[in-house]
Structure 1
Amino acid sequence: MTLSQNDRSIAGFTMTGHALVHWFETSIPIFLVVWLAELEVSVALLGIVVALGYAPFGIGALPGGILADRYGPKRLVLVCLVGMSLSFLVLAVAIVLDPATRIYAIAAGLILWGVAASVYHPAGLALISTGVEDRGTVFAWHGIAGNVGIALGPFVAATLLIFLEWPVVAALLAIPGLLAAAYGLRARFDSTAAVDDDVDVGPEAASLSDLVSSSRALFASAFALVFVIVTFEGLYYRGMLTYLPEILHGTPAIGDIEVFPALEAYDIDPGFYVYVGLLVVGMAGQYAGGKLTNRISPARGLTVLFGVFALLALAFVPVVNMGIGPIVLLCGVFGFFLFAIQPFYQEAVAVYTPPDGRGLSYGYTYLGEFGLGSASIAIGGFALGASVSSFFYLVAGFALAGALLSVGLLVGVDRLGLTMGGPAGANSDD
């Protein structure tokens, strides 16, 4: 199926936004290394400052979704792009401040980034769900763009920091966001092309009572189950991606590899390349998952992929003690499936929610994914402190819970007609 001009316009706009959200997000840990070396602050204090930036990224998804329904998703994405760029310019001006007070400018910039970035996912995905006819394909390309940003952000930041001071690098990283905002202002598309003419999905100023009633309606439907499923996916996703680099670093097969002498000065960890490699493989997973949503129901796809997640987590227990070949192979397979699931839960939200509440629906979705899902960082830390095996057993448990809930969604939809926002069996296997 060839994408229509409207679908291509929305795809280009949202792919740019998605790539840049993760471009900024993954460059922050690179700056963290420099700040620890240059600023006279403790690791604990700087950790709190960085956490203050990341926290709104998940927590702000819900209000971001509400704002997307009220003001329109395109406007919110543009605000996101401008806000993220300005936040890195705030980091850049820290150079003119006294060294003792630079931490405050850094904190302000990171908090601004978290607030601005938080609105992207509910707004961007709402735009795709209501404006794109071939949702599966565009969800796939949208996810691939996110992986490109995830991979490029730290590479570009680290490379520039070899030659330039960090405030200059922060300013340079802001330029693509400003260019994308200028491009977005000129983009033309119909954001409601994929919904029926008699359905009102235009921006509206909802009252608090409307918000409460809409939320009650969502959680009285199949979306309540989708929300919990996405939360368990977030627990698995955040836990694995947070601690896998540390686990890889500690494996004899990778830890004993000697890097090129020219790179030793920059403390390059070979495990970093394996980690980035699985993110790159994830692009193929995003595309495959997106295309499969046109053939397989979201509930069925989620059930199968959560089962694969559990098996992969358990496979890491023996494999981390094997040679470099098995580790790289398993990481590649893991990267493929980890990102293949994202189009399925995004499609599930589109299928089981009404079009006029997509921003709110995706707001709750990413509150579960990035907000509640981040709890696995704390829980996983305790498990990893006990043993590496304990950590993988924990995340396998998250995957099994997600699989069981997905079976519940599959049974509820196929046998009971449990749905909202679309006909039962929409996007089915038939």
Structure 2
Amino acid sequence: MDDNDRSIIGFVMIGHMMVHTYELSIPILMTIWLLEFGTSTAVLGIAVAVGYGLFGIGALPGGLLVDRFGSRTLISACLAGMGLSFLVLSIAPNVGSITIALAFWGIAASVYHPAGLTLISNGVTKRGRGFAYHGMAGNVGIAGGPLLTALCLLVFDWRIATAILALPALIGAVAGLAINFDATAGVELTSNTHERQGPSSISEFIEETQRLFTFGFLLIFLIVALNGLYYRGVLTFLPNLLSDFLTTTIGDVRLGVFAPGSPLADEFDLAQYLYAGLLTVGIGGQYLGGRLTDMIEPDQGLSIMLPVLAGIALLFVPAARSGLWGLLIVSFVLGFALFAMQPLTQATIAKYSRPESRGLSFGYTYLAIFGIGALGAAIVGTVLTYTSVSTMFLVLAGFAATGSGLAIWLLRIVESA
């Protein structure tokens, strides 16, 4: 990689890490909100789905803004907005206020993926490696967010903890404006392309959408939506599920670690650290997925990984109930496979889109991943409230299996072309 590649990758690694730090701190905070506000998983799942939904829905207008104003401006605005949203969250007095604060967070965070992935796709010459490092940084945030939140909650009230979490993004927003790079160094653009500023009217937007949505891209849109339902559904309530499995398997470890009546015992939850470990393992999955994009066609990689995710969902409950080692193994395998999908998905989107409309293409697909995918939180919360954990994982397996069928269909279309 050259200096320009390193500058871009460093910039997007910071942005990606911060987005997912906030995103995955929310499930940890949910364990506190369930107790403090006396609400159900169904109600809180819907509340969180609002923020997560806007995280996805905003990706489409975010993609249009990227094509018009560039990635640097959008990423810096994203960081500033997320920091301010968590400051608002720290003073939320009830579930309704939490919903509003998370909605603001979702709007701010929604522009990141179109901006960051467009920058890698068009500015980095070693695209596969760029996606790998970008994904690894995201998992540092994904793992670090829950871990940092859990550690803060050991010492501070949740309101102070969320205010502390707001500070890094505000600092990152300022620092991002000082980084220099060439945002189109990784692609060959025509003079006509350089003049493009993205669609400037509804008719141009419709025409650009029609050019983008080939049948192959439509299949990718559906695949990533199903993967988003799986991703959001499994991660949102996993801390609570892991806590239940650990209690059943080894009992309440706080009794052997803390003195009776210790205030730390009330806040300590071993499941939160297992959850952070699962997400940390995802760093390796991100690296493997990114390297695979340089070795095989990314759409072929999707057809391999989606059946793996379906199998993990079917095996999770039996493995978790078999004992501590079974729970640890299936949790870490889930973390590795879940995040190995992301670089493959991003490279597939880039493969089936044009450089001059990358912002729009990532806008649509992240609308699917995080917008439609946000329904996974509401679906899983409802299934857990009215049925069982086994049924929940069966639903998740159905999402992955359907996506696998579409990925195989996509490969057959490509092979016959």
Q: Quick check: TM above 0.5? A: yes
Q: 1:132 to 1:114 in 2, by over 3 A?
A: same
CA distance in 2, matches of 1:314, 1:46: 26
Distance 1:403 1:48, change over 3 A: closer
Residues 387 and 82 of structure 1, relative CA distance in 2, 3 Å threshold: closer
Give the direction of change, closer, same or farther, for the CA distance of 1:211–1:38 in structure 2 (3 Å limit): same
Shift of 1:382: 4.9
Change (3 A) 1:377 1:137: same
Q: Which runs of 5+ in 1 are unaligned?
A: 417-430
Distance 1:173 1:91 in 2: 11
Aligned match for 1:237, one of 228, 231, 234: 231
Matches of 1:72 and 1:352 in 2, distance apart? Answer: 21
Match of 2:200 in 1: 206
Q: Note the 1:31-430 alignment, pairs <5 A.
A: 31-32=29-30, 50-91=48-89, 94=91, 108-198=100-190, 200=193, 203-204=197-198, 206-251=200-245, 253-254=248-249, 256-259=251-254, 260-261=257-258, 265-384=265-384, 385-416=386-417
* Residue type of the alignment partner of 1:272: Q
| Alpha-carbon contact 1:254-1:271 (below 8 Å) kept | no
1:18 to partner: Cα distance: 0.7
The CA deviation at 1:141 is 1.1
Shift of 1:121: 0.9
Letter of the 2:230 counterpart? Y
SS in 1 for 2:301: helix
* 8 Å CA contact retained: 1:72, 1:203: no
Give the CA deviation at 1:333. Answer: 1.5
The answer on whether the counterparts of 2:305 and 2:337 sit within 8 Å (CA) in structure 1 is yes
CA distances 1:391-413 after superposition (whole Å, capped 9, x unpaired) = 22222222221111111111112
After alignment, is 324-333 or 165-174 more displaced? Answer: 165-174
User: Structure 1 stretch 112-121 or stretch 392-401: which is displaced more?
Assistant: 392-401
Aligned partner of residue 374 in structure 2, secondary structure = helix
CA contact (8 A) 1:131 1:190 kept: yes
Which protein has greater RCO, CA pairs closer than 8 Å, 6+ apart? 2
Amino acid at match of 1:189: F
TM-superposed deviation, 1:290: 0.2
Report the Cα distance in structure 2 between the residues aligned to 1:183 and 1:284, rounded to whole angstroms. 28
Distance 1:344 1:118, change over 3 A: same
2:8 is matched with 10
Structure 1 contact 7–133 (Cα < 8 Å) conserved: yes
* Counterpart contact for 1:65–1:362, Cα < 8 Å: yes
Q: Are the equivalent residues in 2 in contact too, given 1:257–1:270 (CA < 8 A)?
A: no
Alpha-carbon RMSD: 2.6
Match of 2:17 in 1: 19
Contact 1:283 1:339 in 2 (8 A): yes
Which residue of structure 2 lines up, in the alignment, with residue 428 of structure 1?
none
Following superposition, the deviation at residue 127 of structure 1 comes to 1.0
Which whole-Å CA distance do the structure 2 matches of 1:243 and 1:103 have between them?
17
SS in 1 for 2:185: coil
In structure 2, how many angstroms separate the alpha carbons of the residues matched to 1:254 and 1:368? 37
Q: Is the 8 A contact 2:154 2:267 kept in 1?
A: no
Alpha-carbon shift at residue 149 of structure 1 (Å): 1.1
Q: Once the 2 structures are TM-superposed, how far is the Cα of residue 47 of structure 1 from its aligned partner?
A: 6.5
Aligned length: 407
Rounded Cα–Cα distance in structure 1 between residues aligned with 2:224 and 2:35: 38
Residues 253, 227 of structure 1: alpha-carbon distance in 2 compared, 3 angstrom cutoff: same
Query: How far off its partner does 1:31 sit?
Result: 4.4
Please give the alpha-carbon distance, in whole angstroms, between the structure 2 residues aligned to 1:227 and 1:413.
Answer: 16
* Contact persistence 1:249–1:255 (CA under 8 A): no
**Deviation readout 1:70-93 (Å, 9 max, x if unpaired):** 21122111110111122233345x
Q: 1:410 to 1:46 in 2, by over 3 A?
A: closer
Distance 1:195 1:392, change over 3 A: same
Q: Aligned residues: percent identity? A: 47
CA deviation digits over 1:283-320, x for unaligned, max 9?
Answer: 00000110110011011100011121122222224212
Q: Report if the CA contact (8 A) 2:45-2:378 is conserved.
A: no
SS at 1:265 equivalent = helix
1:14 CA displacement: 0.6
* CA distance in 1: counterparts of 2:281 and 2:392, whole angstroms: 23
Match of 1:215, SS state, is: helix
Q: CA deviation at 1:265?
A: 2.5
Deviation string, structure 1 residues 102-123 (Cα, Å, up to 9, x no partner): 8776555433222111111111
Cα 1:353/1:86, change in 2 over 3 Å: same
Structure 1 291/203 Cα, relative in aligned 2: closer, same or farther at 3 Å? same
SS at match of 2:284: helix
**Structure 2: distance between partners of 1:399 and 1:45:** 26
Greater shift in the superposed pair: 377-386 or 349-358: 377-386
Q: Tell me the SS of whatever aligns to 1:26.
A: helix
Q: CA deviation at 1:177?
A: 1.1
- Offset at residue 235 of structure 1 (A): 1.8
